Amino acid sequence: MPVDAEGREWAEAVTERGWLRPAAADGPREPRWGHPDGMQLGLHPLSGPRGLLRVYTPYLEQPRERLLNFIAVEPIPAGTTERGYSELERSRLDDLPGLRMWSADDPADATPRDTRDPSRGRVAVADGIETLTVDVLVEPFANGADVWVRAVFRADRPHEISVATYRRDTSAALDACVLTATMGNWARLRTLHLEGREVTASALWPEYRDVHFADHAAFGLDDLARDGDAVIVSATPDEAAPHRAVYAPGTREHWHYVGARARQSWRAADPDPGLVAQVNGRYTYWMSEAPIPGGIAFENFELVEPFRQGRAFTFAVDPLEG
């Protein structure tokens, strides 16, 4: 039987009626959902830190266990500028690093569950399109935010996922709840595609050589491309063959890129006038002094907007030709 990242046996997710879902079985089960050959969502204890949604893209010729990116949950209480960090906070439920996340059939029931006992998700039809919906609950943040996330896959869009945040009545009021793609360095995203122009990481931070995060660069609505009533912003690598990169001595193996190149995008329908797209950068890999091949690259990639209950953003990963 397969084992999780902690070495414990569980039943792998299964393909059923066109969807990948947790197995309908007794005992521990893999928390993984989505398209069998398209984008997939996973939770800890799949490989990686707690407090993060895992995004898998096997259609980029990547092994099953290899994820492309994480999505973190980062709420900002009203009247403040400091975010909560789902990955970096220490849990007040079990005193381990990273807030606990689990799936549930009823998001109104905030009782913590073992992530190895996942909801199977709900299959429904919306506007003639079949969907798979998964509700992911998050333990409350130290800053008073108490939120949960709804992820929706569409049968006709195998390379994307819609993610929305909801605030509970028990939560502090929020100015924003940021869903940020946190690991752009693995794909070495360096080119940001805006309306009529491109911006590169090296142009934004030409002299940065530190081991921390370079400051955020923000771009408002006028900078973003339009797609009907929506705005879209994308980031791509600048290497023709990132899987052939030469890494500095001591670079850990998990930073070595595998698979085909892809465009990563955020899309927002009906944007608030205050919406901005943001990126920050790193010159070295996270928790490392190993320089990133080719220089500084984007790390966090996100849309930030005044909080709206149930507001959804779409994260897409599309293969690049060549």
Prediction pTM value: 0.97
What is the residue-averaged pLDDT of the chain?
A: 97
**Range 169-189 average pLDDT:** 98
Q: Which secondary-structure segment (H or E) carries 185?
A: helix 184-187
Nearest Cα neighbor of 44 from 1, 87, 84, 78 is: 87
Q: What integer pLDDT is reported at residue 322 of this predicted model?
A: 65
- Give the Cα separation of 75 and 175 in Å (integer): 8
- Give the Cα separation of 113 and 102 in Å (integer): 6
**Range 84-96 average pLDDT:** 97
pLDDT at residue 6 tops 90:
no
Q: What integer pLDDT is reported at residue 1 of this predicted model?
A: 64
Nearest Cα neighbor of 182 from 282, 39, 100 is: 282
* pLDDT interval class at 259 (50, 70, 90): very high
* pLDDT interval class at 7 (50, 70, 90): confident
Q: What integer pLDDT is reported at residue 2 of this predicted model?
A: 79
**Range 291-309 average pLDDT:** 98
The predicted-structure confidence for 228-252, as pLDDT tens digits, reads as follows 999 999 999 999 999 999 999 999 9
Q: What integer pLDDT is reported at residue 4 of this predicted model?
A: 81
Q: What integer pLDDT is reported at residue 72 of this predicted model?
A: 98
**Range 243-268 average pLDDT:** 97
**Percentage, residues of the chain above pLDDT 70:** 99
Nearest Cα neighbor of 70 from 189, 159, 182, 237 is: 182
* pLDDT interval class at 16 (50, 70, 90): very high
Q: Which amino acid appears at position 135 of this protein?
A: D
Angle, CA of 225, 230 and 235, to the nearest 5°: 45
* pLDDT interval class at 8 (50, 70, 90): confident
